[in-house]
Amino acid sequence: MLRSMFTGIGGIRNFQYKLDVIGNNISNVNTYGYKKARVTFKDLVSQQISAATSSTGTRGGINGKQIGLGSGLGSIETIHTQGSTQTTARPLDLAIGGDGFFVVGSINDVTLISMDGPAGKLGTNRVNTGVPIDRVFNLSFTRAGNFYLDEYGYIVNSDGQYLIGEAAIKDVDTVITNAPHVAQARRDLETFLNSANGLVNFIKKWKEEFTKDPDNNPTTQTDFITFINNFNNELSTLNEKITGKTDPNDTTLAAAGTYFNDRVSPKASINPVPLLPANEADWPDTLAEAEKMMGPYLEGISGFVESVQQVLQDYSEPKYGNVTSFEPGLIQIPKTAKSFGITADGKVTFIDSNGQLKIAGQILLAQFPNPTGLEKMGGNTFKETNNSGKLDRNADGLTINELSRPGLNGAGEIISGALEMSNVDLSEEFTEMIVAQRGFQANTRIITTSDEILQELVNLKK
């Protein structure tokens, strides 16, 4: 009789847990990015009255007899189904259409990152080279994409945590301005062209120096075509090997040319000669013809390059006007930006004061093998646990290579101007509430019934 009373107590406690979870779900029905929870139960160990026996020659087998001792809490699971999308038309309201979490965090050590700060300090917004991301930031993960700009233009959430991704580093114009000896390289190259005859050949390798080597065999037109096709969207050093016969006079070629490919459309030339389109330049094979073509670019042996923008050649498709590389860090929109937006693949772009489209950074997403294993931390954020799977797969510090760009590697795309709503279904929650209420009542009835029977036993003495 006492067993039934304690069984009822266990049932009451379990349904109380269920009602608590249902109440929390309902209270967060309008919380952006909230993921509902559910409760499951399991039975407890059963007391064995008699063991099972096998059959004999005269009798069949007998099943065992057990009395259960009630139910226990099986699990409280977070359900990571996609919530409905609410359109807001606000550019910093972001939803994820698919798998992944925004990476946010507060800074653990400000000396490990270069960023804007008090007293007009300006930074590159990138984490110091070689420093893991999780050492710089106290990381959290969220599906709530209601972000804002702070006083310095950094993207933050409602709790002031920074949105962490890739910062766009170095405006290409600044990089070229600091390139040394541009005019001298031009003069040395023209000196060489005027002193040689034979063939001008180009090889497809990068990161080589300009060399003058009359003993080498010329390369072929096919090699140069391959060289052109190998241009990529990274900051690279262009190197050409020019071979041919020289005159009796000593002639040297000491120039090395640096080409900066910044993921933008061709935008510069040797003034006033227009730049040849990428992948369409048609170079001649003879040295004399090459001199005719290259001469206008060099502007004569005593000429000067007027500005660094005039020596830029860009072989990428037209898009953003200032990017040379991405580094792990913070995303900052300049105060002078006329407008800004976020693309489906997570690029944060803005229109600068000159009306040019530029990029401020790249949003990254975190993906977990078992998102149900994440721990809720409040503020619509989660923390990774041992059972959620670790982002730092090599246990050597989190890098950007262990995060995903939206739309790649199974990660969802960014929906700008929209927010993901809670995935709580009120009709389901009210139904579960009724079930929990009746279950609670049934377990209280077990206790009262057991009490009445015990009372009858006590009254037998009368």
Return mean pLDDT, the chain.
75
Confidence of residue 178 (pLDDT cuts 50, 70, 90): very low
Q: Are 153 and 430 in contact (CB under 8 A)?
A: no
Nearest CA to 309 out of 351, 353, 349, 356 is that of 356
Identify the pLDDT of residue 126: 83
Would you state the pLDDT for residue 462?
A: 66
The string over 126-145, giving b where at least 16 C-beta atoms fall within 10 Å of a residue's C-beta and e elsewhere, is: bbbeebbbbebbebbbbbbb
% of the chain residues with pLDDT over 70: 64
Distance separating alpha carbons of residues 298 and 314, to the nearest angstrom? 18
- Say whether pLDDT at 305 is over 70: no
Of the candidate ranges 100-114, 226-240, 447-461, the one whose mean pLDDT is the lowest: 226-240
Which pLDDT score is estimated for 3?
85
**What residues have CB less than 8 Å from 70, skipping those under 6 apart?**
6, 7, 8, 9, 10, 11, 43, 44
What pLDDT is stored for residue 340 in this prediction? 94
**Nearest residue to 115 (alpha-carbon basis) of 81, 150, 73:** 150
pLDDT of 303 = 41
Mean per-residue pLDDT, 184-200: 46
- Global pTM? 0.64
The string of pLDDT tens digits covering residues 44-62 is 988 889 999 999 888 899 9
Residue 398 CB-density burial (10 A; 0-12 exposed, 13-18 middle, 19+ buried): buried
Chain segment 393-426, per-residue pLDDT in tens = 888 889 888 999 999 999 999 999 999 999 999 9
CA angle 403, 409, 413 (to 5 degrees): 85
Mean pLDDT of 375-384: 94
Kindly give, in sequence order, each residue whose CB lies less than 8 Å from that of residue 457, ignoring residues fewer than 6 positions away.
Answer: 1
Tokens of 124: 């590159």
Residue 213 CB: number of other CB atoms within 10 A? 11
Task: Name the amino acid, one letter, at 426.
Answer: L
Phi and psi at residue 258, in whole multiples of 5°?
Answer: -115, 125
Instruction: Say how far apart CA 336 and CA 314 lie, in whole Å.
Output: 26
Amino acid at 242: I
